Amino acid sequence: MDPKQQVLDAIKAAGEAVNAGKVVELTGLDRKVVDKAMEALKKEGAIVSPKRCFWQAA
């Protein structure tokens, strides 16, 4: 599974808005990998930010 999909699955599984640090904990991926995947997901519109620095599935 690619990192982008792992990040999206972790955000969906959390059931609430999470920050990148929490996604790192949930996936076990490196922070840089998570940041890159989240940036791509933001551009695609797959995740949205209900409040600053927190993300949830769109």
Q: Give the per-residue pLDDT at 28.
A: 95
12-58: pLDDT as tens digits? 999 999 999 999 999 999 999 999 999 999 999 999 999 999 999 99
At 1, is the pLDDT very low, low, confident or very high (cuts 50, 70, 90)?
A: confident
Question: CB neighbours (10 Å) of residue 45?
Answer: 8
Q: Is pTM, for the whole model, over 0.75?
A: yes
Number of domains in the chain: 1
- The range of the structural domain enclosing residue 43 comes to 3-57
Report d(CA 2, CA 5) in Å as an integer: 6
CATH number of the CATH domain containing 13: 1.10.10.10
